[in-house]
Amino acid sequence: MSKRPLLLSTLLLFVPVAAGSQDPAPEDPLPEGQTAITAKEIEHHVRFLASDEMQGRLVATEHSRRAARYLARALKRAQLEPAGDDGTFLQAVPFYRTEHEAVPELRVWAGEGDPLPLTYGVDFTARVRGAPVSTSELEVLSVRSVEDLPATADPKVALLFHARAGDAKRWLEERGAPRGKGWGLVLRLGRTKAGKPGSLPRGGFGVVKGELTDDPEEVSVHGEWRTKFDDGQATRVQLVFHGERRIIDDYNVVGCIRGVGTPERPELAKEVIVLSAHYDHLGTRPGRDGGPPIVFNGADDDASGVAAVLEFAEAFAAGPKPARTLVFLLATGEERRILGTYHYVDHPFFPLEETVCNLNFEMLGRPDEVVGGAGKLWLTGYERSTLGPAFAERGIDVVADGRPDQNFFMRSDNIVFVRKGIVGQTLSTYNMHGDYHQPSDDWDALDYEHMEACARAGFAAAQLLADGSVSPEWNEGEPRLGRR
């Protein structure tokens, strides 16, 4: 939580998006030729995004959407071209969230008479894959081999697999019913010992891709009920949920500056460089003894990177047109499996095959002594591409990642582009400080003079890409990564 009061100029920015006359950045006129990258403006953006009022910018909340509106106004002020949906700077990312009000119930018929209720956590557990929709009364069909599995799925039947999970998965795929699609329920034989009473299931969370498919839920039975199911005593079942799945839009914020090529290389205009950072963070957790919530403000992670990209947008827009086209991507959902950036590459503003590089910015707020201290940047995956050496040869303070064991190359938005075959790397100065993912990651713990130096170096690196001086390429044999 912040330890100093917010500036009045920052407080004035807490307005609805409709009040578009309120600019989100300082009003000071820029001197002729000024790149607009200053510690003052960087601090201004970070103080807004990392203020307690933003409640940690948790993805798919009103606080995250408020941050998105702020960022959209900043790109509009810089006079970028909107690259979101319907002529706006906002690209909707439809998230789904599953919420439970009570534990599930499993009712089992074992012989004549009324069904017997099983206790969640003790006798069974449920993996909620689709919407938490209760089933009707289902007949139990035992499956011990692929031959026992009918070729046509029946939504009135629960499949009970007497087999390892990998075998069951393969059999379902062979029958054209991956994950049990079309069947009423998938049952598995779980632990031989009973469990303990369970709390509410974890709410599912993800991005909606096309139409949501409601694959059947997966239930495991334990203890004495495992034996009864294995022996064929359970003939019918019904799974009852108490909850719902909601669809909630959040937003990537996207703007662009179209390239114009050069007289010698007009084709550069069709090549796209994506400059990115993520603006979401971890939200809040309940306070102690009924006190106010504890806010994870995320100043370094990653309001610092977002502030830098906003400065780049303003600086590029104030200068001559770039040779290559520039996309400025401020993504949501990085803290939730990088979902916002995955959504962008699935729905890019320009065809993805035109994107030649992603230069990502994350955690620029503290000097890192391992790589030389204040103003020094390091590049994740330095040895994987031509970027790092090209920057260094041209006098930019960018060095190799001093902590390769931490695998930072895989841990930020750049990896999404990498998995599409695009050169993608992150510039950072994260020094393994103890405030990472803690409530103490506040705006007043950052070094803004250091951040200005890093942002200017990052802008110089981005300029080399923008004007065509550097052509990003993977080194031979890189990257050796799986595709999502």
252 and 229 in one domain? Answer: no
Distance CA 360, CA 425 (A): 6
444 and 346 in one domain? Answer: yes
Question: Is residue 174 included in any domain, yes or no?
Answer: yes
pLDDT of 30 strictly over 50: no
Distance CA 173, CA 195 (A): 31
Top-confidence residue, 244 or 284 = 284
Are the C-beta atoms of 299 and 441 separated by less than 8 Å?
Answer: yes
In angstroms, the first-to-last Cα distance of the chain is 36
Tokens 């839920």 sit at which residue?
217
Question: Is residue 479 included in any domain, yes or no?
Answer: no
166 and 52 in one domain? Answer: no
Question: Is residue 320 included in any domain, yes or no?
Answer: yes
**3-state SS, residue 74:** helix
356 and 283 in one domain? Answer: yes
Distance CA 76, CA 335 (A): 26
Q: Which CATH number belongs to the domain containing residue 267 in this structure?
A: 3.40.630.10
Question: Is residue 472 included in any domain, yes or no?
Answer: no
On average, the pLDDT of the chain sits at 89
Task: Characterize 170-208 residue by residue with b for buried, 16 or more Cβ atoms within 10 angstroms of its Cβ, and e for exposed.
Answer: ebbeebebebbebbbbbbbbbeeebbeeeeebeebbebe
pLDDT of residue 33: 42
Question: Is residue 126 included in any domain, yes or no?
Answer: yes
User: Which of 28-32, 289-293, 307-311 is the least confident region?
Assistant: 28-32
**Eight-class DSSP state of 300:** I
Average pLDDT over residues 175-180: 92
CA distances to 272, 339, 355, 471 from 352, rounded to whole Å, are: 9, 17, 5, 17
Confidence of residue 210 (pLDDT cuts 50, 70, 90): low
pLDDT of 7 strictly over 60: no
125 and 82 in one domain? Answer: no
Distance CA 7, CA 378 (A): 32
Average pLDDT over residues 107-118: 92
291 and 201 in one domain? Answer: no
Name the pTM for this structure.
0.82
pLDDT of residue 275: 98
Are the C-beta atoms of 105 and 117 separated by less than 8 Å?
Answer: yes
Confidence of residue 383 (pLDDT cuts 50, 70, 90): very high
Domain limits for position 123: 111-234
Average pLDDT over residues 36-44: 93
Distance CA 399, CA 266 (A): 31
317 and 224 in one domain? Answer: no
pLDDT of residue 5: 31
166 and 29 in one domain? Answer: no
Are the C-beta atoms of 376 and 458 separated by less than 8 Å?
Answer: no
pLDDT of residue 97: 85
pLDDT of 111 strictly over 70: yes
Question: Is residue 474 included in any domain, yes or no?
Answer: no
pLDDT of residue 35: 55
**Eight-class DSSP state of 385:** B
389 and 262 in one domain? Answer: yes
66 and 177 in one domain? Answer: no
150 and 256 in one domain? Answer: no
Strands 205-207 and 90-109: antiparallel
pLDDT of residue 170: 95
Top-confidence residue, 346 or 24 = 346
Tally of domains in the chain: 2
CA distances to 28, 56, 139, 436 from 431, rounded to whole Å, are: 33, 21, 58, 10
Average pLDDT over residues 392-415: 93
Contacts of 237 (CB under 8 A, 6+ apart): 106, 107, 108, 109, 135, 137, 138, 140, 158, 185, 187, 219
Question: Is residue 481 included in any domain, yes or no?
Answer: no
Give the residue among 394, 336, 13, 342 at the shortest CA–CA distance from 205. 336
Contacts of 105 (CB under 8 A, 6+ apart): 117, 118, 120, 239, 240
The 10s digit of each residue's pLDDT in 311-334 is 999 999 999 999 999 999 999 999
pLDDT of residue 362: 97
Contacts of 218 (CB under 8 A, 6+ apart): 126, 127, 129, 180, 186, 188
Tokens 């047109």 sit at which residue?
321
124 and 77 in one domain? Answer: no
pLDDT of residue 211: 62
Q: Which of 201, 234, 267 is the last residue of a domain?
A: 234
Q: Which of 180, 202, 234 is the last residue of a domain?
A: 234
Task: Characterize 270-286 residue by residue with b for buried, 16 or more Cβ atoms within 10 angstroms of its Cβ, and e for exposed.
Answer: ebbbbbbbbbbbbbbee
Identify residue 89 by its one-letter amino acid code.
Answer: F
pLDDT of residue 21: 33
Question: Is residue 124 included in any domain, yes or no?
Answer: yes
Are the C-beta atoms of 409 and 401 separated by less than 8 Å?
Answer: yes
The 10s digit of each residue's pLDDT in 362-375 is 999 999 999 899 99
